[in-house]
Amino acid sequence: MKKDQSGKAGDQLNPDKFIHTLSTDVEATENWFCREHVKIIDFACGSIFSIVLGVMAAWICRRICRSLIKRHHGVLKWKVLNALTLPVILLAVLISCFFFSLPMLKTLPVFWYDLDLRLFYAALVFAAAWGILRLVAVLDQKIRNLAERNDNSLDNLTVSMIGNTLKIAIVLTAVLFVGQNIFNLNITALLASAGIIGLAIALAAKDTVSNFFGTIVIIADCPFRIGDRIQSGSVNGIVTHIGMRSSKILTEDESVYTVPNSILTNSALCNIDHRGRLKHVMEIGLTYDTSADQMEKALRILHDILDDFHGPDAPGRMPHIYFSGYGAYSLNIRVIVWLKTSSFPEEEKLLNELNLEILKRFNAAGLNFAYPTQTLYLAGQQPSSGK
């Protein structure tokens, strides 16, 4: 009898036979219940005892682990122990219930014995997969905490992507293992069907797939991170969120732009934080009655202000100041200055301080700023020699 059971246990489970057994063996099953009721009661009592004992052990172990985690300020080994406690107890309960069920299972028909054995093995595999998932979750949280520090190159999005990929891989591995090795399903055909379905979905949602691969490029190449100030096309602002499909950028006027990741990776992008400074160009116009000496004095004043401009300016990057040309109504001075900041408020603060200092020094030196003017001459009127 045992030899036949073990020999047929490896046969592929036949769904048609399963349905036929359900419909034709009702009377035989009732007779089996009447004949083996003692073993059934023993199995039920043993299983209840195992479950109650497992629940109590889980409650006690979790309280102990939480106390140790709190006492030792979240030491990793206690978090790992806490994560593995429930799966290990579940495995112990399953094995115990199976042990109590053996006397009853040996009296079952071969089909039912085979089915129960397969279900038990599948439960063991899924319990082990659950334990691995909980372990991955602990490690994922630990790496996330490291990513939040400023002294490393980790990124929350990268950690999240890796963690989610591992979890999906573990679940798929467990399902495929159970299907192929326990229930003897044709996994190759299922994978081929899944590939065709996946191709159809990819063609129907090519923009979504493009954005997903754009996210992968952002993770791998790391052109920007959350908190960086970037410029892409007409959008200039601070990255506040990087998602699987799009990223959110906060601009100076408090507008939030949602930009697809495929656009960010396929277009020219400037990371201002990587550059380390902001370039600011100023055009200062003086009136046409400004003399050459006064122009030289204006240039010296600007150098005095900008060559040693205090605050978070870019050290070692000297400003460019020169008399750029003759405008329609002004003598123009072009000023290029670099500010070491990517913050909108800090940029405005520095420019306010800079402009105010220029105004004070120019007024004290008697230099006049130009503004748009027009001089009209009537027919037959000669221009005056004065102003």
Contacts of 87 (CB under 8 A, 6+ apart): 127, 128, 130, 131, 134
> Are 35 and 183 in a shared domain?
yes
Average pLDDT of the chain is: 79
Q: Residue 1: its pLDDT value, please?
A: 40
pLDDT digits (tens, 9 = 90+) for 232-286: 888 889 888 887 788 899 988 888 999 988 888 888 888 887 777 778 899 999 9
Q: Residue 293: its pLDDT value, please?
A: 93
Tokens of 370: 């130009």
The answer to whether residue 48 scores a pLDDT higher than 80 is: yes
Q: Report if residue 378 sits inside a domain.
A: no
> Are 265 and 313 in a shared domain?
no
Comparing C-alpha atoms, which of 189, 187, 188, 164 is closest to residue 176? 187
> Are 256 and 325 in a shared domain?
no
> Are 114 and 44 in a shared domain?
yes
Cβ(160)–Cβ(216) below 8 Å? no
Q: Residue 187: its pLDDT value, please?
A: 75
Q: Residue 4: its pLDDT value, please?
A: 46
Comparing C-alpha atoms, which of 318, 317, 211, 224 is closest to residue 269? 224
The answer to whether residue 299 scores a pLDDT higher than 90 is: yes
Comparing C-alpha atoms, which of 342, 346, 351 is closest to residue 236? 342
**Dihedral of alpha carbons 181, 182, 184, 185, sign:** negative
Q: Residue 384: its pLDDT value, please?
A: 57
- Residue 276's φ and ψ, nearest 5 degrees, are 85, -5
d(CA 117, CA 176): 18
The answer to whether residue 374 scores a pLDDT higher than 80 is: no
Query: Any idea what the CATH number is for the domain that residue 227 is in?
Result: 2.30.30.60
Q: How many CB atoms lie within 10 A of CB 327?
A: 14
> Are 230 and 115 in a shared domain?
no
Q: How confident is the model at residue 92 (pLDDT cuts 50, 70, 90)?
A: confident
Q: Report if residue 236 sits inside a domain.
A: yes
> Are 240 and 326 in a shared domain?
no
**Dihedral of alpha carbons 89, 90, 91, 93, sign:** positive
Q: Residue 156: its pLDDT value, please?
A: 66
d(CA 63, CA 34): 44
Q: Report if residue 156 sits inside a domain.
A: yes
Q: How confident is the model at residue 344 (pLDDT cuts 50, 70, 90)?
A: confident
The answer to whether residue 229 scores a pLDDT higher than 60 is: yes
d(CA 295, CA 293): 5
Q: Residue 22: its pLDDT value, please?
A: 53
pLDDT digits (tens, 9 = 90+) for 114-163: 888 888 899 999 999 999 999 888 888 877 777 666 544 456 666 777 78
d(CA 332, CA 299): 11
SS3 category, 382: coil
Packing angle, helices 292-306 and 344-364, rounded to 10 = 140
Comparing C-alpha atoms, which of 326, 335, 236 is closest to residue 283? 335
> Are 266 and 348 in a shared domain?
no
Q: Which has more confidence, 181 or 14?
A: 181
Q: Residue 152: its pLDDT value, please?
A: 47
Contacts of 280 (CB under 8 A, 6+ apart): 336, 337, 338, 339, 347, 351
Comparing C-alpha atoms, which of 34, 17, 183, 3 is closest to residue 106? 3
> Are 308 and 239 in a shared domain?
no
Q: Residue 144: its pLDDT value, please?
A: 76
> Are 263 and 305 in a shared domain?
no
Q: Report if residue 99 sits inside a domain.
A: yes
Percent of the chain beyond pLDDT 70?
77
Q: Residue 18: its pLDDT value, please?
A: 56
Helix or strand holding residue 337 (H, E) = strand 331-339
d(CA 148, CA 143): 9
Q: Residue 380: its pLDDT value, please?
A: 64
Q: How confident is the model at residue 21 (pLDDT cuts 50, 70, 90)?
A: low
Q: Report if residue 374 sits inside a domain.
A: no
pLDDT digits (tens, 9 = 90+) for 316-332: 578 899 999 998 889 99
Q: Residue 9: its pLDDT value, please?
A: 42
Q: Report if residue 369 sits inside a domain.
A: no
Q: How far is CA 154 from the centre of its chain?
A: 11
> Are 262 and 282 in a shared domain?
no
- Give the residue-averaged pLDDT of 95-102: 84
Q: Residue 198: its pLDDT value, please?
A: 67
Domain-terminating residue out of 244, 259, 274 = 274
Tokens of 79: 């978090």
Q: Report if residue 301 sits inside a domain.
A: yes
- Domain ranges, residue 323: 276-364
Q: Report if residue 21 sits inside a domain.
A: yes
* Structural domains counted in the chain: 3
